[in-house]
Amino acid sequence: MDIKFVAAGAAVPAKAAVARIVFEGDTHEGPLAQAVAASRFTGAKGQTLDILAPQGLDAARLVLVGAGKRDAFTTLGAEQAAAAAYNAVKTSGLTTLRVELSGATDHSVHAAFGLRLASYRFDKYRTKEAAEKKPSVTHAEIVAADPDAALGAFAPLSALADGITFTRDLVSEPANVLYPAEFARRVKALETLGLEVEILGEPEMMKLGMGSLLGVGQGSVRESQLAVIKWYGADDKSAQPVAFVGKGVCFDTGGISIKPAENMEDMKWDMGGAGAVAGLMHALAGRKAKVNAIGILGLVENMPDGNAYRPGDVLTSMSGQTIEVVNTDAEGRLVLADALWYCQDRFKPKFMVDLATLTGAIIIALGNDYAGCFSNNDELSANLLAASAAEDEGLWRLPLPTAYEKQIDSMIADMKNTGGRPGGSITAALFLQRYVNGVPWAHLDIASTAWKKPSSVGTIPDGATGYGVRLLNRMVQDRYEG
């Protein structure tokens, strides 16, 4: 999507739709008033009214987009209104969308951001799509009081949209294309943005003693990888970094504890945590964030095989703690155990936030609009929840009760890798907590939010959401930069 900011009076190009963002109680004039009167359009949030060949207007179509109460209009409202406008005309055959909104530059800038998010599409494997089904709108013009100021203010949000797009592309890729080494290559390519990227293969991880992560990957013909992404953007390059760790299971069959066939294809998305961390690092570098940040991705494939790890196996993690594997499908925590330990051991970060599509139980607990937050630190948790509210990426804190620790006691090792069905997301988080060595930490279980099908949010097309990139970018920006 090619986006420009234009002054209110600028000539409308050929083959354009004009979307006018209006509020409840607004009055309309002339033929427009007639069209509104003949419909149920009130200006309520989410409503659109499509008017073909509007009289007295230089546009092929006019779309009125309801934005609710004028006083309650926010930057998030501007994003959603612009997304609704795009979704109303995207396959109309018209090529340009002009978005008209009055008021603050902020609103114009966020309308542009909303268009970037709404127009995302993963279509590289469609070779036979009929022309009339493809989106036709490729250009947008957003009215702004001061177009130059708007363009300047859009730069960091455009970088954020680039990061979210990167995440969505990674998460959408099938596992035959995006296996650990390919994921690592795509992350390595981010060095052009100024990031430093190190890739560790199996021999390096073996030397570090990462028996937990390596155990998961040993049944796959694809080599496991650990990606270490570094962004030193703070004025003081030696300042303590913030750190993000992602579960990157490029495909999760369940291993020997194999999953049922139905919906197993969804498990290409089991690298959504690593995808979000990669997208976040992309965004931080893209907007030259004044922070030192580390991103660590544990990249593996969980397969059943003659060489696969078995239920009953005991793994020794980098921390030295031993783990009895009782279910090879509880693999994400095994990957994160070594990635988290390595992160705190090497980088001594201010805090670690891990993102993982860790448990089906979080979907049962919270549904698809909230991820679960688990933390050993109230300040970090409060910062995450504040960022969640600001960016409208749902997050809900859940407890880490000591009394549940016994669910992961093992007869023969330091712990087992699952605690059974009761509180399944909680015992998974308690397991991870044993690998953070007391560092301020939060775990976001995003199994509920990494993808939506179908999606009901205009800025999130069906499929990979990019959840977490906005939230963490905002938290870094508001609390850890400068």
Catalytic residues: 259, 333
What is the nearest approach in angstroms of ligand BES to the Cβ of residue 357? 4
**At 416, which amino acid appears?**
K
The two structure tokens encoding residue 275: 């995808």
* Dist. CA 267–CA 249, nearest whole Å: 8
Site for Mn ion in 249-288 (CB under 5 A): 252
**For residue 145, how many other CB atoms are within 10 A of its CB?**
15
The reply to whether 270 sits near Zn ion by the rule CB under 5 A is: yes
Q: Phi then psi for 87, rounded to 5 degrees?
A: -65, -30
Instruction: Give the CA radius of gyration of the chain.
Output: 24
The two structure tokens encoding residue 252: 């999760």
**At 432, which amino acid appears?**
L
Collapsed DSSP state (helix, strand, coil) of residue 326: coil
Return the residue of 242, 249, 352, 476 that touches Zn ion, per CB under 5 A: 249
β-strand partners of 141:
4, 98
Sign of CA dihedral 300, 301, 303, 306: negative
Binding site partner of 19, from ligand BES, Zn ion, Mn ion, none, Cβ cut-off 5-8 A by kind: none
Sign of CA dihedral 8, 11, 13, 15: positive
Residue among 43 and 298 whose Cβ is closer to ligand BES: 298
The reply to whether 252 sits near Zn ion by the rule CB under 5 A is: yes
* Dist. CA 246–CA 354, nearest whole Å: 6
Site for Zn ion in 316-355 (CB under 5 A): 332
The reply to whether 445 sits near Mn ion by the rule CB under 5 A is: no
Residue among 156 and 419 whose Cβ is closer to Zn ion: 419
The reply to whether 354 sits near Mn ion by the rule CB under 5 A is: no
Residue among 269 and 341 whose Cβ is closer to Mn ion: 269
By CB under 6 A, name the binding residues for ligand BES. Answer: 252, 270, 327, 329-332, 357-361, 418, 424, 447
The reply to whether 329 sits near Mn ion by the rule CB under 5 A is: yes
Total site size for Mn ion, rule CB under 5 A:
3
What is the nearest approach in angstroms of ligand BES to the Cβ of residue 455? 16
Residue among 252 and 301 whose Cβ is closer to Zn ion: 252
What is the nearest approach in angstroms of Mn ion to the Cβ of residue 270? 7
What is the nearest approach in angstroms of ligand BES to the Cβ of residue 113? 28
Packing angle, helices 180-188 and 272-286, rounded to 10:
10
Question: Pairing between strand 314-316 and 322-324?
Answer: antiparallel
- Nearest residue (beta carbon) to ligand BES: 360
What is the nearest approach in angstroms of ligand BES to the Cβ of residue 439? 24
* Dist. CA 184–CA 228, nearest whole Å: 9
Quote the DSSP letter at residue 320.
S
Residue among 424 and 461 whose Cβ is closer to ligand BES: 424
Among 196, 425, 381, residue whose Cα is nearest residue 292 = 196
What is the nearest approach in angstroms of Zn ion to the Cβ of residue 447? 8
Q: Kindly report the CA angle at 398 between 167 and 227, in degrees rounded to 5?
A: 30
Binding site partner of 375, from ligand BES, Zn ion, Mn ion, none, Cβ cut-off 5-8 A by kind: none
**At 103, which amino acid appears?**
G
- Nearest residue (beta carbon) to Zn ion: 252
The reply to whether 217 sits near Zn ion by the rule CB under 5 A is: no
Stretch near Zn ion under the rule CB under 5 A, chosen from 148-156, 219-227, 245-253, 457-465: 245-253
Residue among 87 and 328 whose Cβ is closer to ligand BES: 328
What is the nearest approach in angstroms of ligand BES to the Cβ of residue 472? 20
Residue among 241 and 332 whose Cβ is closer to ligand BES: 332
**Is residue 441 within 8 Å of 373, Cβ to Cβ?**
no
**Is residue 349 within 8 Å of 343, Cβ to Cβ?**
yes
Binding site partner of 117, from Mn ion, Zn ion, ligand BES, none, Cβ cut-off 5-8 A by kind: none
Quote the DSSP letter at residue 477.
I
* Interface positions with Mn ion (CB under 5 A): 252, 329, 331
* Interface positions with Zn ion (CB under 5 A): 249, 252, 270, 332
